[in-house]
Every structure is written in structure tokens, then in C-alpha cells.
Amino acid sequence: MIKSVKEHIFNFFSSPYAFISALPLIIISSSRLAYGIIAFFALLWVCLVSTMIKNLTKNFFPGLFNNILLISLCSAAGGIFLLIFSFVNPLLAKETILISLLTPVYCFTSESAARAESAEWNQALLESAVDALLPGIFIIILSALREILGFGTLSLPGGAGAIQEIFKLDVLPYPLKIISTSGGAFMLLGYIFIIFRLVKSYSKKAARSGEDDE
């Protein structure tokens, strides 16, 4: 694993609690896989474009109102993504407006664009890609899990009705449907964190017993 990924704050295997910064995006976009995929591309686009522009204009970027300008830059990247995407799939673009508008907020709060000022362009782009990819991949995995358990199906962007269902399970226990709601997503995340703690404590115990054997 490359160093920037291994030491990254959003690396799930280092610290899943850091994901709380991207919690709104995770909760909103993980209800269906199609939305998760859109969130993944929106994150990638907004983080990369805003970082690239910030890095290229770092000599001209005024120090005064730096934050407001950075917010405008991230927001413009999000708006352009929404504009392009509304030409490709207008229905899905309308359904995912909030996701497209929250990605600039994540980009600003994770400081991926702000860090571009003090780095070389290739290093800045790499760090920004990591910023976008780690939560993006987590969102896709979680959305697939939530959609299968909650709706009994898997959907992809496209088709006449904005999203296309790949398959549909006929038999699905009714209580599992709560996972498709936001309350269910909170609970699922809570249990994921508990499983993470459990795995971490077992791996620590195994490492200790290995040291004792030696």
C-alpha cells in the first residue's frame, strides 16, 4: 500500500471513526448502489478539479477571503459536475442533487484543495485522489450492502427510469427493510464500528500470544 494511503486519516483500516466527517454523504448516497456510484464519481471529480485549479492558480490566489474563494471553487466544480451529469441522465441528476451539492462541502472540510497550495501538482493530485477514493469506495460497498438487504435488489445508473435494477430477490425478511432507511444506516454503521473494534482486539490478542510463543 502506498504511504499516502496507509497514513491517510480516512483509511478505514487505520481509523474508521474519521469517516464521521463524510457521514452525511455516506448516509444519503448509500441508500442505493446507483446513488453510491454517482457519489463516487462526484467526489473524484470535485476533489481532483478543485485541487488542480487551486494548485495551478496558487500564485494568483489572493490571501484575503481565501476560504470564501475556496468554497466558491469547490462549489463551481460541484455545479459543473451536476451540469454535465444532467445532460447524461437528467432524471438521476435531479434525484442526486443533494449528493452533488454535498461533495464540495466534503472537499472543503477535508482540506484536499487547501493542501494543494503547499505541494507539487502531482503530489497534490495524488493526495486529493486518495481523499476522494477512500470514502468513495466505502460508500459503494455500503450502498451495495444496504440495497441488497433493504430493497432486495442491486441498481446501476441508466435505463428509462434513471436507475436499472440488475436483479430482484422475491423473499426478503420484512424487518431487514429498515436498513434502507436513514435510521437503519446509522445502526448499520454503529454495528460496523463494533465489528471493527472486535476484529482489532482479536488481532491485538493474536499478536500478543505470538510474541509470548516466541
Partner 1 sequence: MKYLAALFLLSAFSLNLPLQTGLGVRALRDDLGRSVKNSFFECAVLFISIYIQYALFTFAFSPLNLVFFKYFMIFPLSAVFPALMQIFHSKVILKYMPDNKCGDYVFDFSYKTGLSIAAVLLVLYIAGSPQEALVLDLGFCFGIFCTALVLKAVSLRLVQERTSALFRGLPLMLISMGLLAMIWTQVIYIYLIQRGRF
- Binding residues for partner 1, rule: CB under 8 A, are 17, 20-21, 23-24, 26-28, 67-68, 71-72, 74-76, 78-79, 82-83, 97-98, 100-102, 104-105, 108-109, 178, 181-191, 193-194, 197-198, 201
Residue 90: CB minimum distance to partner 1, A: 12
Task: Calculate the alpha carbon distances from 213 to 13, 64, 204, 208 in Å.
Answer: 26, 61, 14, 9
Nearer to partner 1, 149 or 188 (CB): 188
Nearer to partner 1, 10 or 154 (CB): 10
Residue 196: CB minimum distance to partner 1, A: 9
Q: Which residues pair with 157 in a beta bridge?
A: 163
Residue 122: CB minimum distance to partner 1, A: 28
Nearest Cα to Cα of residue 73 among 130, 111, 36? 111
Residue 77: CB minimum distance to partner 1, A: 10
In whole angstroms, what is the distance from residue 161 CA to residue 101 CA? 22
Nearer to partner 1, 105 or 162 (CB): 105
Q: Are 110 and 45 in contact, with CB atoms under 8 Å apart?
A: no
Nearest Cα to Cα of residue 112 among 82, 142, 133, 138? 133
Nearer to partner 1, 44 or 46 (CB): 46
